[in-house]
Amino acid sequence: MKICIYGAGAIGGYLGVQLARAGADVSLIARGAHLAAMRERGLTLLAGGEEHVVHPRCTDNAAELGVQDYVIITLKAHSITGVIEKMQPLLGPHTRVITAVNGIPYWYFYKHGGSYENSTLESIDAGGRQWRELGPERAIGCIVYPATEIEAPGVIRHVYGNNFPLGEPSGEITPDVQRLADLFVEAGMKAPVLDNIRDEIWLKLWGNVCFNPISALTHATLDVICTDPATRALSRAIMLEAQTIAETFGVKFRVDVERRIEGARKVGAHKTSMLQDLERGRPMEIDPLVSVVQEMGRLTGIATPALDSVLAMVTQRARIAGLYDGVAAPTDPRALAVA
């Protein structure tokens, strides 16, 4: 089974080590000092007091690798469009693309049913390029729950978690998704195959849509955001707006807002990914986590005043810092492109 992990940073590197240890034929796409270190010394995973070193193929040129059975995308979501052309040598007629990214994926409306079937969202897939060039029929959804970090070039530290729920857009349990899930389990991870992956996508996004931008604006950690009365109330307002939108598309939430906020509070003094990116001078995932929810609200005619205000402020902050190059959601729902 040939697997390419495209974007072998913290999460991608963790997956790469675990899958290689399970005997998969793994290749990693990376760049810079991290790539150089992996080529020279292999890829090291620090987890549970143990150290594991593997020596998979590592490159910055996908053309060296050929067609894969699975391509696992672990890039930040806003980076995907920029590397679509480079991914093409990996894609054959039977290749599956696993979107292990935060937020709404490009394939969201594939086999969705209803009036939005086969629609694309401009805020996450400008011009529908991912839809056309990666293909929604290749997609397998994946939600990333573990926390990992690059401790040094070529060295990944696992902080907590090993759960990677998987699912076909159609909800079917196909041989492709089951084979991948079995490999993840063999590699020491949890990979439940879900019959409605979109519910799980929204459950994670539910927190990201509010906690991430609020943290970038306030520099507060999760425990502070969820405890301070003002930021907790703002988080709740944004989450209720997002819930109304998601339920319009048939999504079911298995917990209520207060339980979701409490779950985040219990994580403790954790900096969200958006705050970490701001502090490190890296582009922030504003569009796949926040703008897309606003766009879906406009599509359905649902007002999002709390989200709109926070989105405007965090986008302006990112632009001033030179960390935003995304696209604004269309003001007219008819601007939604249909593939």
CATH number, domain with residue 279: 1.10.1040.10
The confidence score (pLDDT) of residue 116 equals: 94
Give strand ranges (E) for the chain. 2-6, 25-29, 43-47, 50-54, 57-59, 70-73, 96-99, 139-142, 147-152, 155-160, 166-167
Does residue 281 contact residue 317 with C-beta atoms inside 8 Å? Answer: no
Measured in whole angstroms, the distance separating CA 12 from the mean position of its chain's CA atoms is 12
Residue 40 burial (10 A CB sphere; 0-12, 13-18, 19+) = exposed
Q: Over the stretch 207-225, which tens digit does the pLDDT of each residue have?
A: 999 999 999 999 999 999 9
pLDDT in tens, 83-109: 999 999 999 999 999 999 999 999 999
| Domain shared by 72 and 135, yes or no | yes
**pLDDT for residue 325 is more than 90:** no
**Same domain for 205 and 91?**
no
The mean pLDDT of 306-324, rounded to a whole number, is 94
pLDDT at 130: 97
The residue-averaged pLDDT of 11-29 equals 96
Cβ neighbours, 10 Å, residue 147 = 16
Determine the pLDDT at residue 328: 46
Are 154 and 301 in the same domain?
Answer: no
Q: Which domain holds residue 54?
A: 2-195
The two structure tokens encoding residue 143: 């939600």
Mean of pLDDT values over 167-181? 98
Q: Which of 171, 195, 219 is the last residue of a domain?
A: 195
Domain assignment of residue 338, yes or no: no
Asked whether residue 291 falls in the same domain as residue 189, the answer is: no
Query: Does one domain contain both 114 and 230?
Result: no
Residue 41: inside a domain, yes or no?
yes
Question: Quick one: 126 and 260 in the same domain?
Answer: no
* Each residue's pLDDT tens digit, 134-150: 999 999 999 999 989 99
**CA max distance for the chain:** 54
Between strands 155-160 and 147-152, the pairing is antiparallel
Which among 171, 167, 89, 102 is positioned nearest to 133, based on CA atoms? 89
- CATH number of 10's domain: 3.40.50.720
Same domain, 38 and 105: yes
Any domain includes 190: yes
Q: Do 231 and 332 touch, CB atoms closer than 8 A?
A: no
* Residues 256 and 285 grouped into a single domain: yes
Tell me the catalytic residues: 204
The answer on 288 and 243 residing in a single domain is yes
pLDDT at 333 over 60: no
332 pLDDT above the threshold of 80: no
Question: Does residue 334 have a pLDDT over 90?
Answer: no
**In a domain? residue 316:** yes
Taking each helix axis from N to C end, the angle separating 257-267 and 229-248, rounded to the nearest 10 degrees, works out to 130
330 within some domain: no
Same domain (yes/no): 112, 151: yes
Query: Hunting for tokens 């969200």 — which residue is that?
Result: 272
> Is 72 part of any domain?
yes
Residues 191 and 204 in one domain: no
Residues 44 and 26 in one domain: yes
What pLDDT, on a 0 to 100 scale, did the predictor assign at position 100? 96
Is 23 part of any domain?
A: yes
Domain count for the chain, please give it: 2
262 beta partners: none
Judge whether 326 lies within some domain.
no
pLDDT of 331: 38
Domain finish residue from 170, 195, 220: 195
